[in-house]
Amino acid sequence: MMEYKPILPARDLSKVPMRLVTAEGVAPVSVDGETFLRVSDDALAALAEAACSDVEFYLRPAVLDSYAAIAADETASENDRFVAASLLANAIIAAEGELPLCQDTGTATICGTKGNRVLSTGNESAALSAGVAAAFANRNLRFSQIAPESMYVGTNTKTNLPAQIDLSVGAGDGYEFLIAAKGGGSTNKTRLFMKDPSILSADALEAFLVEAIAEIGTAACPPYRIGVVVGGTSPEANLKTLKLATCRDLESLPASPDDDGYAIRDTELEATLLAACQQLGLGAQFGGEHFASEVRCVRLPRHAATVCVSVGVSCNADRNLYAKITPDGVFVEQLDTNPARYGDLAATSPTAVEVSTDQPMDDLVAELARQPVGTMVLLSGPLVVARDAAHKRIATMLDAGDAMPDALMNYPVYYAGPAKTPAGKPSGSFGPTTAQRMDSYVPRFQALGASRVMLAKGNRTPVVAESCKQNRGVYLGTIGGAAALVAERHITAAETLAFDDLGMEAIRKITVDKLPAFILTDPAGNSLY
């Protein structure tokens, strides 16, 4: 009989730096002469709360190092260096513990293993969920989870629950966890393809993957960590492996099958794809070669008739960490709390054109039109904030014969949804959301004189360039992944104008001071991408 071996090797956290959260609620007990570890629900909740708090404000040292390398790279484009420096500045501000790294504080994702010598109440999912809810209630995080009222209508749960919790059973007297905060922008760029075995040649697979990666575009906040998984016993097994790969959880996979599992990692393909990413010219959002910092390629076993291929990314807010419970207590991975050591690299003053948004819309468009695509501008003045739910409601109002809200006619529209506002600050973390989700509204809104200057992140579909050409519109891109920086340095006032029931998706008016943005699409329909 063939001996069992797992598809993926067991996780080894022995060399991961950890900090103690609590020693309460964890105690060895003797049962029939054998020692087990009793773990209380409170201990599990404490772990989830600590992990979901830390991961929103701190990054791993390797992530900060990668951005520092780009900021210091004299051969990189000016825009790449500016983005990397801004990400370092953002991390320095977030590490103060008030403003999270990104306004999209994500879906809490908990992937864990329970040892066979652990005694618990059996309520792990409920206890971990309580910890997630506590973190989102007690810190300045954003509630993003929408529960269905029907197939077409949903309501924000205002707790950020449900979390995604996946637990399995293993050996040992403790728990091990991978915990991630996954935002909607990067999740939306996950791609699964069902291919036939003819894809399994170097030329065919590489060409296919380069095209798939290029189609991801810049909307999910590069520099990316790109994951590629080929194979899998099912599509869902492939996609779970993809998530682990983008969370840095499969770094120790061997280059060829060994006794610990079936999965392998192809470092040669990783190098090939990273080089291809550098040649795309998309860069770290606004042109250059630093589209990706890393690529990880995993090969899994498969059914003879099926080849699952998935591609996904972790955005520059690379938010994941390990945690564990042992007889010594509850621990979470020690993230880097001192990004200020990169303060010199974070200080930049690139060439830019100052633009006031407090002027008639025709004059503002004309001023922006005088600058070539790719120009950096510093925006000062009022913006109206509206994103997915607000756009949908406005479209419904227009269908009913109502007028377009004046705010969208008079001010540039910023596609965004902020995190909670800390005491004493005008705003919570306030970065842009993916522009492409609003593309279907643009021709209709611009034809009515609204949304003529738009601010968000990422590339857009050709319909937007054509609408800008027909209606003299402009699309500006600002840095995705620098939400704490925007709130701390560039937003001076904020108020809710309408749709307060939509929570973070309400229509707001904010005032900005020298907010950096790039002209990505001009009134002639020219596009940077």
* Backbone phi, psi, residue 223, to 5°: -65, 135
Length of the chain as a residue count: 529
Tens-digit pLDDT profile for residues 262-297: 999 999 999 999 999 999 999 999 989 999 999 999
* Backbone phi, psi, residue 28, to 5°: -75, 145
Give 62's strand partners.
none
Q: Shortest CA distance to 414 belongs to which of 370, 480, 472?
A: 480
Cα separation, 470 vs 162, in Å, equals 43
Q: Which residues contact 245 (CB under 8 A, 6 or more apart)?
A: 227, 228, 229, 296, 298, 312
The DSSP bridge pattern shows strands 18-22 and 329-333 to be antiparallel
Cα separation, 9 vs 451, in Å, equals 51
Tens-digit pLDDT profile for residues 455-506: 999 999 999 999 999 999 999 999 999 999 999 999 999 999 999 999 899 9
Hey, what amino acid is at 251? E
* Backbone phi, psi, residue 425, to 5°: -115, 150
Tens-digit pLDDT profile for residues 43-59: 999 999 999 999 999 99
Q: Report, at the CATH architecture level, how domain 351-521 is classified.
A: Alpha-Beta Barrel (3.20)
Low-confidence ranges of the chain (pLDDT < 50): none
Q: Shortest CA distance to 209 belongs to which of 187, 189, 227, 235?
A: 227
Q: Shortest CA distance to 91 belongs to which of 479, 499, 521, 519?
A: 479
pLDDT score recorded for residue 322: 98
Q: Shortest CA distance to 108 belongs to which of 50, 163, 147?
A: 163
In the block, tokens 């066979």 appear at 116
Q: Which two tokens stand for residue 403?
A: 């007028």
Q: Which residues contact 399 (CB under 8 A, 6 or more apart)?
A: none
Domain positions in the chain are 351-521
pLDDT score recorded for residue 168: 94
- Chain centre distance of CA 262: 30
- Give pTM, 2 decimals: 0.93
pLDDT score recorded for residue 403: 95
pLDDT score recorded for residue 330: 98
Which contiguous run of DSSP H or E holds residue 229?
Answer: strand 224-232
pLDDT score recorded for residue 273: 98
pLDDT score recorded for residue 261: 77
Q: Report how far apart the first and last C-alpha atoms of the chain are (Å, whole number).
A: 57
Cα separation, 143 vs 152, in Å, equals 20
Omega cis (within 30) before 9 = no
Q: Shortest CA distance to 455 belongs to which of 364, 393, 372?
A: 364
